[in-house]
Amino acid sequence: MTISSTIAQQNEAFRGGINRSVKSRKEHLNRLKNLISEHEKALSDAVKKDFGKPYSEAYVTEIYTVLQEIDLHLKHLENWMKPKNTGSAIVTFPSKNYVIRQPYGAVLVISPWNYPIHLALMPVIGALSAGNTVVLKPSELSPNTSALLRKLLHQEFDPKLLSVFEGEADTVQELLKQPFDKIFFTGSTRVGKIVMKAAAEQLIPVTLELGGKSPAIVHKDANTDVAARRIWWGKTINAGQTCVAPDFVLVHESLAKSFTEESKKALDLFFKKGLKAGENYTQIVNKDHFDRLNNLLKNSEIILGGKSNRKTRIIEPTLIRADWDDEIMQDEIFGPLLPVITYSDEETIIRNLQKRPSPLALYLFTDDSHFQNSVIDHVPFGGGCINDTIVHLGNHNLPFGGVGQSGMGAYHGQYSFEAFSRPQSILKKPFWPDPDFRYPPYDETKMTWFKRLFTRN
């Protein structure tokens, strides 16, 4: 089926109520759940084939999280769908007032390669749960996973409800010309701008889940042992190819030496058997990204690590001494290189962070609540953790999304249901009473009464 005929059929199926009732939504979510559970091994193998992601990582970050999300939607969907009563305004008395969450219609989900199951299916779950039909465009850079997703989803679902189109930028361009009712994009800030521009042509609402340079700050009171372990844990999952990976670290000068020592201990602990693609470590996705990271590596002052192998596309986790103006501090790294900048003055780092594009995440290692509040209140970022990295994504009660250059809108759990539905207001009146008072002509007596009854002082 062509792209345009699929969207036309989805529009019609949406109007016909293909995914309208709570029963049909739950049935679709259950079918998705069973499909993933049944093919969990094949899906993990596909990700391993694409970029050597070990099974343990694939299971936790791709399969488990998606199954958990489906269970959460199944449990709460009925409640989320219920019309929510609101109070009445004095001028609308007597009336019943409520808000219904209405699905948008046919939605387009565009996903990146780095968590190719998770980032394709998490939005699909939200879209189905909220009552929409979906077209999914997975990434061409994870071809094995994208092809398997397409095969499995097409086996299980009517394309009028859920359809997958593989392809590159030209496929996205073609999709962006279609009359979708909502677009959900996850990927780079550069492509996010292309998507938003195209959506603006048709006034299609967008959610943009983008990237950025997420800082970790290790303040003077921090426990460097735990901080180093948790930062390197966040940096080495998926070999640093994670949108919320700590991109760089700001370490208080009094802890610089100990942070390096603890980093060495953490990395020795994690990878004492060496780095083995597909077993305990992930490859860089392709040669282009390997070369980009290797160039950064070559131009940097290495403190720890530094080995790389183009043939296996493995780059060792590497700690780098850096300054704000260095090349490695300009764009999102998206790899296992960790620049560290030392600081002495808290205000200077806050000012430096304020001057940069707002990141998707920020991680703060300190128990000093004054410092915590001053960073949180003065540096805009999507979301983050105090004394940890990345784990805020593991709680579906927290909205996940960026701000400014790192995106707009948020999802996960109930926030996904809301991202894929719109609030529709209804005011319901009885036929009686129907006083003359509200109708023209509006003479002086009516105005006097209006002011007396409705104006508060």
Residue linked to tokens 């540096």:
379
Q: From residue 96 to residue 125, what is the string marking binding to ligand NAD with x (rule CB under 6 A)?
A: --------------xxxxx----x------
Tell whether residue 24 is a contact of ligand NAD (CB under 6 A).
Answer: no
Question: What's the CA gap between 269 and 439, in Å, rounded?
Answer: 78
Tell whether residue 191 is a contact of ligand NAD (CB under 6 A).
Answer: yes
**Residue numbers 297-356 binding ligand NAD by CB under 6 A:** 332, 334
Tell whether residue 194 is a contact of ligand NAD (CB under 6 A).
Answer: yes
The minimum distance between CB 354 and ligand NAD, in angstroms, equals 21
From the list 40, 209, 262, 346, the catalytic residue is 209
**Binding ligand NAD by CB under 6 A: which of 27, 38, 168, 434?**
168
Tell whether residue 407 is a contact of ligand NAD (CB under 6 A).
Answer: yes
Residue 23 CB contacts under 8 Å (≥ 6 apart), including other chains: none
**Binding ligand NAD by CB under 6 A: which of 169, 200, 269, 453?**
169
- Which residue is closest to ligand NAD by CB? 211
Active site includes 385? no
Tell whether residue 178 is a contact of ligand NAD (CB under 6 A).
Answer: no
Active site includes 209? yes
Tell whether residue 145 is a contact of ligand NAD (CB under 6 A).
Answer: no
Q: In terms of residues, how long is the chain? A: 457
Do residues 19 and 128 make contact, with C-beta atoms less than 8 angstroms apart?
yes
User: Token pair for residue 367?
Assistant: 């128990």
Q: Coil, strand or helix: which one is 43?
A: helix
Strand pairing category for 361-365 and 383-386: parallel
Output the CA angle 24-27-29, nearest 5 degrees.
110
Do residues 277 and 268 make contact, with C-beta atoms less than 8 angstroms apart?
no
User: Token pair for residue 235?
Assistant: 């940096």
Nearer to ligand NAD, 28 or 392 (CB): 392
Tell whether residue 69 is a contact of ligand NAD (CB under 6 A).
Answer: no
Instruction: Detail the DSSP E strand segments found in 300-355.
Output: 301-304, 308-309, 314-315, 318-321, 337-343
Q: Which residues bind ligand NAD (CB under 6 A)?
A: 110-114, 119, 137, 139-141, 168-169, 172-173, 186-188, 191, 194, 209-211, 243, 332, 334, 360, 402, 407
Catalytic positions, please?
209, 243
